[in-house]
Amino acid sequence: MTDAAAPESLQPAYRVLQVGDPVPWFKQNSTSNPNFSFDTVAGRYIVLCFYGMGSDEVGRATLASFQEEHRSLFDDDKIALFGVSVDPSDQSEGRAKQILPGIRHFWDFDGVVGRLYGALPRNVQPGQGSVPIRRFWMVLNPSLRVRAIFPFEENGGDRAKVMAYLRDLPPVSHYAGFELPAPVLVIPDVFEPEFCRHLIGLYEEHGGEESGFMREVNGKTVAAHDPNHKRRKDYTIDDPNLIRQVQHRIIRRINPEIERVHFFKPSRMERYIVSCYAAEDGGHFRAHRRFAVSINLNGDFEGGEVSFPEYGPRSYKAPPGGAVVFSCPLLHAVSKVTRGRRFAFLPFLYDEAAAKIREANNANLGECVGAYKA
């Protein structure tokens, strides 16, 4: 559907996404976050509704279909819906409402999301006059690949079709027809029991400091602290002899498995910390992305399991001394510790090429983030 004709001198060109395609990631202003990272929503079915504007008859009926008539379908566990508006009055006049759980809206007033997904022409920018808007629904599977597309229909029949389709979706854990295992390595016996106890003892003796995480702000990587996102305390190992002992075990017991399975040879290791997720602190780390190794040092705790939302709700708890190894593209999270304390050793492994990239990225680091030297 169009809101006005495109300039005669400019033929609109739209991106076309098809079923099975991975969708592009983006950051955009939204009803819940002014810089919402779309890649963090994996792990449930996602509905993107490109209604364009809620001020006309079609827009009003579309908003009513999911904000009122079928609101119960959207619970953030199985299905979450994101409306996409290009009309600032949808925000200022309150037509598009955030209704939690399950319903949010992107304020796509600069057209970034619309151009990425084919609702707006790629070759027409805001301010170049009115442009044709393609209105449609897009349903994504929990790994953020296109599962179905429903163009708007003149008689509004698309709304009933979408809702019927959503009701028939299989459980998130079986969205591919069966339960998918996450592409991670679980390696037992990386650290011996005595070595685990020694590392825990260092934490108990010296204590830990609340750790933060890295976040991009205005193009710069900055350190951030948010207890709703992460609660964990870390002790940093600075004894050169102990660092060599840790390296020795990683090289002998983890590197060969990474080389065999991923055809990747780690040559560098970053961060020598003993971390503690404690029940009394509500220790957890919500979904985030980095290349990492997670070695449990104890087992007498509940919760604190590593999960990979893109591959379903299954979580992983390595035995004491065992490691869960996963690569950076995987969205991962640590569930809240509900009893006891979980101690873990959490290094990052990478190679020479990555070291050069990290050094080149120093120009994008915030003032409080230490520069990297390869």
For 262-284, write each residue's pLDDT tens digit. Answer: 999 999 998 899 999 888 666 55
Does residue 322 register a pLDDT over 50? yes
State what percent of residues in the chain have pLDDT above 90.
Answer: 71
CATH number of the domain residue 141 falls in: 3.40.30.10
Cis before 7 (ω within 30): no
Highest mean pLDDT of the ranges 56-65, 212-221, 287-296, 353-362: 56-65
User: What does the pLDDT look like over 336-349, one tens digit per residue?
Assistant: 999 999 999 999 99
Calpha distance 68→65 (Å, rounded): 6
Is the residue at 43 inside a domain?
yes
Tokens of residue 371, six digits: 């520069």
Q: What is the DSSP letter of 5?
A: P
Instruction: Say how many domains are in the chain.
Output: 2
CB 126 within 8 A of CB 110: yes
- Kindly state whether residues 296 and 352 are assigned to the same domain: yes
Residue 22 lies in a domain: no
The last residue of one of the domains, among 174, 201, 233, is 174
**Would you say residue 194 has pLDDT above 90?**
yes
Write out the residue range of the structural domain in which residue 350 sits: 185-364
Domain assignment of residue 5, yes or no: no
Per-residue confidence band for 1, with pLDDT thresholds at 50, 70 and 90: very low
Does any domain span residue 37? yes
Residue 37, pLDDT > 90, answer: yes
The answer to whether residues 258 and 232 belong to one domain is: yes
Q: Is the pLDDT of residue 5 over 80?
A: no
210, 359: one domain: yes
Sheet holding 136-140, edge to edge: 103-107, 79-85, 45-52, 136-140, 146-151
Cβ(276)–Cβ(340) below 8 Å: no
Window from 92-96, 259-263, 360-364 with minimum mean pLDDT: 360-364
pLDDT for position 277: 86
Do the domain assignments include residue 21? no
Alpha-carbon separation of residue 325 from 185, 204, 209, 295 (angstroms):
5, 26, 24, 9
Partnered with residue 205 across adjacent β-strands are none
In terms of domains, do 170 and 189 share one?
A: no
Q: Is residue 356 part of a domain?
A: yes
pLDDT at 220 over 70: no
**Cα distance from N-terminal residue to C-terminal residue, the chain:** 53
Tell whether the model's pLDDT for residue 286 goes beyond 60.
Answer: no
Q: Is the pLDDT of residue 131 over 90?
A: no
Bridge partners (DSSP) listed for residue 235: 274
| pLDDT at residue 372, as a whole number | 47
Say yes or no: 215 and 348 in one domain.
Answer: yes
What per-residue confidence (pLDDT) applies to 229? 45
pLDDT at residue 354, as a whole number: 79
The answer on 355 and 216 residing in a single domain is yes
Residues 199 and 82 in one domain: no
Mean pLDDT of 170-194: 95
Q: Is residue 160 part of a domain?
A: yes
CA distance 306 to 210: 20
Q: Are residues 199 and 169 in the same domain?
A: no
Mean pLDDT of 74-79: 97
pLDDT for 233: 87
Residue 63 shares a structural domain with residue 148:
yes
Report which DSSP code applies to 169: P
pTM: 0.80
For residues 32-58, average pLDDT: 96
Q: Are residues 70 and 165 in the same domain?
A: yes
Among the candidates 141, 174, 207, a domain finishes at 174
Cβ atoms of 169 and 160 within 8 Å: the answer is: no
Domain termination site, one of 154, 174, 194: 174
Report residue 213's pLDDT band, with 50, 70 and 90 as the boundaries.
very low
Indicate whether 154 pLDDT > 50: yes
Q: Does any domain span residue 126? A: yes
Note whether 143 and 63 are same-domain residues. Answer: yes
CATH, residue 300: 2.60.120.620
Does one domain contain both 341 and 214? yes
Q: State mean pLDDT over 219-234.
A: 52
Helix 255-262 × helix 240-253 angle, to 10° = 40
